[in-house]
Amino acid sequence: MNYQCFFFDKNIFFSQGLKSVIQDACDDSMRVQFTSSNNIHQLVEVLKQQRNEREQRWVICDFESFPQGRFNVLNMIKMYYRHHRQKLVILLSENNIPLFFALHSLLPGAHWLLKSESKQNVSLFFNELKCSEIGQNVFSPSLVSYTRMKWLTADAGCYISSDEWWLMEEIFKGKSLSQIANEVNINVRRLSYYKRRLMKRLNVTSNVALFNVFKCIVATPRND
């Protein structure tokens, strides 16, 4: 079996580490080809390519490397990644965890790996990915444990819905709630409710605090 691994990641050092783990997970009968880019258009072209039936394609994307307007970017990715029976892996940082449920609702067929996992857990993840069937999800062990803990402690309210995420991205564009309501033909009071609910969930009392917390959750790493 041949494997094609495409990395979409601005952090080339992390990608190099994953390459080493993937190579260790493959036996001598498996040929692995690696490519990488941080260009969103090249990522889309890879997702649109026909896949050879004798190979597996893994498309591994760092969430924080996506350009601004990520809600729309993920919707665009959703249009293509299922077409050619390829496996999409999304890399998350710990500060992205509140978005996990919203992300999973957008990309229900994707696989999810926390970047802070131990090397042993990362190896386990890719071994499971290698054996998984199309339609079978693989989740980062620590992500599973964290999510289970939040549910058992009735703390699932810390998670952000796709509606709330979409609304905040529209607000970040400088739009008022009235403008957004007119554009999507929705009652402004409903949007106001989403915003108030999110503020309560994140335990903030001002717009400035809300923006600061949300920017941390969807943070884009600096290129030093």
Closest residue by Cα to residue 127 from 116, 115, 113: 113
Does some domain include residue 210?
Answer: yes
Does some domain include residue 224?
Answer: no
Phi, psi of 116 (to 5 degrees): -90, 5
Does some domain include residue 155?
Answer: no
Shared domain for 108 and 19, answered yes or no, is yes
Does some domain include residue 118?
Answer: yes
Domain harbouring 77, CATH code: 3.40.50.2300
Q: Which of 103, 122, 150 delimits the end of a domain? A: 150
Shared domain for 140 and 170, answered yes or no, is no
Shared domain for 60 and 92, answered yes or no, is yes
Shared domain for 135 and 170, answered yes or no, is no
Shared domain for 73 and 32, answered yes or no, is yes
Q: Which of 123, 150, 177 delimits the end of a domain? A: 150
Shared domain for 137 and 201, answered yes or no, is no
Shared domain for 190 and 139, answered yes or no, is no
For 96, the domain range is: 2-150
* Prediction pTM value: 0.74
Shared domain for 131 and 171, answered yes or no, is no
pLDDT at 147: 67
Shared domain for 122 and 13, answered yes or no, is yes
Q: Which of 150, 184, 205 delimits the end of a domain? A: 150
- Distance between CA 4 and CA 8 in Å, rounded? 13
Shared domain for 22 and 94, answered yes or no, is yes
Domain harbouring 193, CATH code: 1.10.10.10
Domain count, the chain: 2
Shared domain for 146 and 167, answered yes or no, is no
Does some domain include residue 223?
Answer: no
Does some domain include residue 13?
Answer: yes
pLDDT in tens, 166-196: 888 788 788 899 999 998 888 999 889 888 8
pLDDT at 6: 94
Torsion of CA 148, 159, 95, 180, to 10 degrees: 160
Q: Given the structure tokens 């260790």, which residue do they identify? A: 24
Tens-digit pLDDT string for the chain (224 aa): 788 899 999 888 888 889 988 888 777 767 888 999 989 999 989 888 877 777 888 999 999 899 887 878 888 888 887 766 789 999 998 888 878 877 887 888 899 999 999 989 999 999 899 888 877 889 988 887 776 666 555 555 556 777 777 888 788 788 899 999 998 888 999 889 888 887 877 777 888 877 777 766 665 544 44
Shared domain for 200 and 98, answered yes or no, is no
DSSP letters for the chain: -EEEEEEE-S-HHHHHHHHHHHHHHS-TT-EEEEEEE--HHHHHHHHHSPPPTTEEEEEEEEGGGSPS-HHHHHHHHHHHTTTTT-EEEEEE-GGGGGGHHHHHHH-TT-EEEETT--HHHHHHHHHHHHHPPTT---B-HHHHHHHHHHHHTT-GGGS--HHHHHHHHHHHTT--HHHHHHHHT--HHHHHHHHHHHHHHTT--SHHHHHHHHHHHTPPPP--
pLDDT at 103: 84
